[in-house]
Amino acid sequence: MPPSKNESIIEVKNLAARFDDNIVFENVNFQVRKGEILVVVGESGCGKSTLLKIMIGLHKPYAGSVFFQGMDIVRADEDQLQAYRQNIGVLFQSSALFSSMRLRENIALPLQEYTDLDAAMIDSIIRMKLAMVNLAGYENHYPSELSGGMKKRAGIARAIALDPLVLFFDELSAGLDPVTAVELDDLIIKTNEALGTTMVIVTHELESICNIAHRVVMLDKSARGIIASGTPQELKEKSKDPRVRSFFLRQMPEA
């Protein structure tokens, strides 16, 4: 499903984050359009993961708002946040699977917490989600029995268990070999196209960015905010900013 050109599902307004006297970023403004894959990039320490955690509702910003379908999750009460969490799926670098649980038990967790579905229906959903990520028949495997790429796919299966409107991924391809990373990119694209799921992805993998992103937002540590926004092709071919060119063309900025 192509992203909507006009309809935003998330709007970030005047967002600022700081730790003690250290300003991570400030005056960050952008929209996430319904159905798009938005990739957040930037050098280490620029605040990519911090931004993602604020958008998920795990961290409070120093200032600003994050609106999800008109609701400011920064100022939402617990009931509103609970409703928001039912509409999003999250996968961090580690996949965050519980090692003591089989895959079926890991994927069942959000279904048991947020729905009243009976055991038979939950089991059916588990098998369907695992099949979607090419892990059919792995219901009774433990995470320790899976490769790194399989763990990431299992994490995606759990993230999409509730058919969320938005998926958040942090460094999804980290630690994977190039072939597995490409397979994961293909899965991201197919999931987006099949379900129309909006995705916000933090990554530094240039090949992955060019493969999956509909649009890119680039943060910069020294600027303490966004320095560029556009399609990967636009940023790679048209940007005059040496920091952007350095990132997309893998060139050292001129002195």
Tell whether the model's pLDDT for residue 254 goes beyond 60.
no
233-245: pLDDT as tens digits: 999 999 999 999 9
**How many CB atoms within 10 Å of residue 8?**
18
The residue type of 25 is F
Structure tokens at 124: 């059916």
165-195: pLDDT as tens digits: 999 999 887 778 889 889 999 999 999 998 8
For the CA atoms of 210, 26, 174, 253, the dihedral, rounded to the nearest 10 degrees, stands at 60
Q: What is the pLDDT of residue 117?
A: 95
For the CA atoms of 1, 245, 53, 9, the dihedral, rounded to the nearest 10 degrees, stands at -30
Average pLDDT score over the chain: 91
Q: Which domains does the chain have, with CATH numbers?
A: 1-87+168-255 (3.40.50.300), 97-163 (no CATH)
Q: What is the pLDDT of residue 252?
A: 52
Range name among 60-69, 137-146, 202-211 with the lowest pLDDT average = 202-211
Q: What is the pLDDT of residue 6?
A: 67
Give me the phi and psi of 214, to 5 degrees please: -80, -35
Q: What is the pLDDT of residue 4?
A: 60
d(C-alpha 85, C-alpha 168), whole Å: 11
Record the pTM: 0.91
The residue type of 5 is K
Mean pLDDT calculated for residue range 213-220: 97
Q: What is the pLDDT of residue 65?
A: 97
